[in-house]
Amino acid sequence: MITLRRYLFFVLAVCTALAAGIALGGGPLQGRLEPDEQAVSSRTSQLSQTITSLRRQQLFDDAVSEATSRRVVRDQLAGRTVALLVLPTVPDSTVAGVSDAIAQAGATVTVTAHLSPDLIDPAKKAYVDSVADGSLQGRDDLPQLAGAPTYERISALVARAYVGRGQDTEFDEEAADIHAELEGARLVSTREPPLRRGALVLILAPGAAPTRSAAATASNVISAQLATTVATASDGALVAGPPSASSPGGLLTALGEVGRPTDVPLSTLNVIASPAGQIAAVYALAATANGQPWEFGTSPSGIRLPPGLAPVED
């Protein structure tokens, strides 16, 4: 009962204060508040106009980039085959934009494979291990994988299914069998059946998780293993994500931390979400295929553009 009386007294006090505030606002303090309200309203209006202007500018910049991208990327990847591997939570708009840029560059996207969260979830390791074991049975050309760690095996299977070198990119019976195993296990999904395997690989990565955790760190290590393995099996690979992918907790940072071999044809790019970034991805992939892998994009020290794009003038 005492608690109830205290609660009722508190509610009464709050209501009284609110009533007094309303009365004062409608009485002697009204004139004092109006100038402040007008100032706030003016600042809000200015901020809204600024936001609207920036949005319109961004829309215009994106439209110009899209309109000129065909000419800018023309023939940069002429005759190439590209496998597109998409990590979880990458926006569909980014996938579509990158696919269009690759096509405009004269290449063929042979497969767009969406990798499931289970594939890179350390808590699902036992399941992934069982899928890898089943998929490796009877694979005489992958004997080196016997007894290898779980994610080395599953990464090699992904590479065998979707990645090739030079003209050796036929989606042969073994690749089709592995693809069927991976898709049946729901570790990979494709909306269209693969046309061929890709001699080049573009791996689309999400931004860093909002909070760092042991699970997120382990997931990045798994993704880094996958990227290194498919790059080794290819003529060149690019891991591309938004700027936060190269911040602490992002995949691009993890790639640097795991110390990938220097002889692996693997590049990174951290500006993939915009039309300009998708143009840069084409040039970065071409540079990697030509023996010039690097960490492209933005960094605290400046901007690193792929070869073939004009440098930014100060």
Give the mean model confidence (pLDDT) for residues 129-143. Answer: 87
Q: What is the mean pLDDT of the chain?
A: 84
Q: In what order do the strands lie in the sheet with 295-299?
A: 188-189, 108-115, 81-86, 200-204, 236-240, 266-269, 295-299, 302-304
On the question of pLDDT at 218 being above 90, the answer is yes
Confidence (pLDDT) at 22: 41
pLDDT tier at 257 (50, 70, 90 boundaries)? confident
Query: CA 293 to CA 276: how far, in whole Å?
Result: 19
On the question of pLDDT at 5 being above 60, the answer is no
Give the mean model confidence (pLDDT) for residues 7-27. Answer: 42
Query: For residues 104 and 258, which has the higher predicted lDDT (pLDDT)?
Result: 104
Query: For residues 206 and 54, which has the higher predicted lDDT (pLDDT)?
Result: 206
On the question of pLDDT at 89 being above 90, the answer is yes
Confidence (pLDDT) at 53: 66
CB-based contacts of 163, cutoff 8 Å, min separation 6: 83, 197, 198, 199, 201, 230, 233, 234
Confidence (pLDDT) at 15: 41
Residue pLDDT, tens place only, 93-131:
999 999 999 999 999 999 999 999 999 999 999 999 999
pLDDT tier at 314 (50, 70, 90 boundaries)? very low
Give the mean model confidence (pLDDT) for residues 4-17. Answer: 40
Confidence (pLDDT) at 132: 95
Exposure of 37 in the CB half-sphere (CA atoms within 13 A) = 7
Query: For residues 3 and 133, which has the higher predicted lDDT (pLDDT)?
Result: 133
On the question of pLDDT at 14 being above 50, the answer is no
pTM: 0.78
Q: Could you give all domains of the chain from N- to C-terminal order, each with its CATH number?
A: 2-59 (no CATH), 76-304 (3.40.50.2300)
